[in-house]
């Protein structure tokens, strides 16, 4: 009786152990993949931060348009001032 139970336990372990081994292999693989993905996500996050920083830096077109506004505003003001002066002289 005892021998039989030992034998059956042995047979059971023959069936279960390979599965368990496969499972732990899978687990290790998944953990590795997870670590890899985490590293990649971190890299992407850093890239997004850098891009956001870059987008906050005004580009050449904004600088030039600002200068254009200044030239325009003072041009119009000067024009008005000059024409008023002329009218005053008449």
Partner 1 sequence: MHIADGVLPLSVAAGCGAVSLALAAWSVRSTDGDDLPKVAVVTASFFVSSLIHVPLGPTSVHLLIPGLVGILLGRSAFLSILLGLLLQSLLFSFGGLTALGANALMMGVPALLSGLLFNRLRGTSHKQNMLIGALAGGSGTLLAATILAFLLASGGEDFFGVMKLAVLAHIPVFVIEALVSAFTVSFLYRVKPELLEQRLGVVCQG
Binding site for partner 1 (CB under 8 A): 56, 58, 62-63, 65-67, 69-71, 73-75, 77-78, 80-82, 84-85, 87-88
Closer residue to partner 1 in complex, CB, 18/58: 58
Q: Which is nearer to partner 1, 2 or 87 (CB)?
A: 87
**Least distance in angstroms from the C-beta of 44 to partner 1:** 23
| CB environment 36-64: b (16+ within 10 A), e (fewer) | eeeeeeeeeeeeeeeeeeeeeeeeeeeee
d(CA 11, CA 5): 10
């Amino acid at each position: 009786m005892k021998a039989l139970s030992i034998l059956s336990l042995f047979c059971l372990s023959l069936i279960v152990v390979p599965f368990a081994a496969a499972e732990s292999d899978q687990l290790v693989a998944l953990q590795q993949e997870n670590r890899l993905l985490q590293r990649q996500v971190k890299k992407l996050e850093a890239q997004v931060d850098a891009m956001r920083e870059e987008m906050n830096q005004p580009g050449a077109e904004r600088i030039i348009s600002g200068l254009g506004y200044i030239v325009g505003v003072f041009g119009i003001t000067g024009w008005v001032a000059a024409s008023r002066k002329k009218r005053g002289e008449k």
